[in-house]
C-alpha cells in the first residue's frame, strides 16, 4: 500500500506538470520503459538471469534540482511478486552543478515485494559524480545499502568509469561506456576492490519525440568466482528502452 500511495503521488505530480503552465516552466518529467534479456545490478551482480520489463518515472523541480522517482521491474516468466526479477523502488534526490561537475545525492527504498520465503527490503543512500568534457564523460558512483528483516547484510558498493560518444552524423552518435565495480563485502561475500568490468554500447534514435535506445552490454569478472566468495559472473545481455521527456 505504501508503494501504491507513492506511485499515485508521483502520477499526480506528472499530471500537474503537464497541465500547468507554471509547472511546465519549473518541472521536468521523464518516463522510461524498457525490455532487457537479464537484470544485472549496479554492483555487477546478476539479480535475475532471465528477461525483465522495467519502467521508471521521475519528476524534477528544476530551480532546486530536487526530484522524486519510481522504478519497477517485472519478470514475465514468474509472474508478479514471484522472483528476483520483481522489484519496486522509489526515492528522492537532489542534483546540483558546480561548473562542469554534476553532483547527485539520492535516498531510495527498494521494495522487494516479499519474494518466496524472503521478507525484507533494502534502503540505499547513493552519491554520483559526473564530469562531461566535450564527447567524454567520467562518472563515480558510491552506494551504501541498509537491509532489514531476513535479507543478508549489504554494505558499500561503487562503480567508476568513463564514456565516449562517437559522432556519426549531426544528429546521431554511438556511446561507449566502460566502467569497473567493487564492494566491501556485499551480501556476506568476500570484499572485492574490483569485482568486474563492464562495457555498454548504445545509441539513441528520436522518433516523434520518443528516444529509442538499443543497448548491448558485456561484463568480465575480475574478482573471485561465486564459488569462492565473489559476486559477479561473465555476462552478455541486451535490451531496448523507450524514453520521453516532458
pLDDT above 60 for 16: no
Distances (CA, A) of 28 to 11, 25, 120, 150, 183: 13, 8, 33, 38, 33
Q: For residue 82, is pLDDT > 60? A: yes
- What is the C-alpha separation between 232 and 180, in angstroms, rounded? 12
Higher pLDDT among residues 230 and 19, named by residue: 230
* Strand positions, DSSP E, 62-155: 66-74, 87-98, 101-111, 122-133, 136-147
Residue 20: predicted pLDDT: 53
Average pLDDT value for the chain: 84
Per-residue pLDDT of 208-224, as tens digits, reads 989 999 999 999 999 88
Q: Determine which helix (DSSP H) or strand (DSSP E) holds 7, and give its type and residue range.
A: helix 2-19
Mean pLDDT computed over 230-236: 89
Predicted confidence at residue 2, as pLDDT, reads: 47
* End-to-end CA gap in the chain: 28
Cell matching residue 168: 556519426
Percentage of residues in the chain with pLDDT exceeding 70? 80
pLDDT confidence of residue 220: 96
Q: Does the pLDDT value for residue 10 go beyond 80?
A: no
The reported pLDDT for the residue numbered 117 is 47
Question: Domains along the chain?
Answer: 2-245 (2.40.160.40)
Which residues does 4 contact at the CB level (< 8 Å), separation at least 6? none
- pLDDT-based confidence at 4, cuts 50/70/90? very low
pLDDT at residue 67 in the model: 92
Closest CA to 36 of 226, 193, 202, 245: 202
pLDDT at 149 over 60: no
Amino acid at each position: 500500500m505504501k508503494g501504491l500511495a507513492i506511485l499515485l503521488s508521483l502520477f499526480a505530480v506528472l499530471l500537474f506538470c503537464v497541465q500547468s503552465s507554471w509547472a511546465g516552466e519549473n518541472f521536468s518529467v521523464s518516463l522510461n520503459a524498457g525490455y532487457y534479456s537479464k537484470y544485472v545490478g549496479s554492483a555487477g551482480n546478476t539479480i535475475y538471469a532471465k528477461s525483465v520489463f522495467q519502467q521508471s518515472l521521475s519528476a524534477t523541480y528544476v530551480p532546486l534540482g530536487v526530484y522524486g522517482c519510481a522504478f519497477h521491474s517485472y519478470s514475465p516468466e514468474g509472474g508478479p511478486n514471484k522472483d528476483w526479477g520483481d522489484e519496486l523502488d522509489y526515492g528522492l534526490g537532489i542534483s546540483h552543478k558546480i561548473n562542469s561537475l554534476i553532483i547527485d545525492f539520492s535516498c531510495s527504498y527498494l521494495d522487494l515485494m516479499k519474494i518466496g520465503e524472503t521478507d525484507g527490503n533494502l534502503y540505499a543512500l547513493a552519491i554520483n559524480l559526473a564530469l562531461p568534457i566535450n564527447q567524454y564523460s567520467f562518472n563515480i558512483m558510491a552506494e551504501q545499502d541498509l537491509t532489514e528483516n531476513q535479507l543478508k547484510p549489504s554494505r558499500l558498493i561503487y562503480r567508476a568509469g568513463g564514456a565516449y560518444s562517437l559522432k556519426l552524423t549531426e544528429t546521431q552518435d554511438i556511446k561507449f561506456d566502460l566502467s569497473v565495480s567493487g564492494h566491501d563485502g556485499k551480501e556476506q561475500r568476500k570484499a572485492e576492490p574490483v569485482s568486474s568490468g563492464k562495457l555498454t554500447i548504445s545509441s539513441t534514435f528520436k522518433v516523434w519525440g520518443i528516444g529509442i535506445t538499443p543497448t548491448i552490454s558485456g561484463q568480465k569478472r575480475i574478482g573471485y568466482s561465486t564459488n569462492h566468495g565473489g559476486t559477479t559472473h561473465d555476462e552478455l545481455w541486451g535490451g531496448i528502452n523507450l524514453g520521453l521527456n516532458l
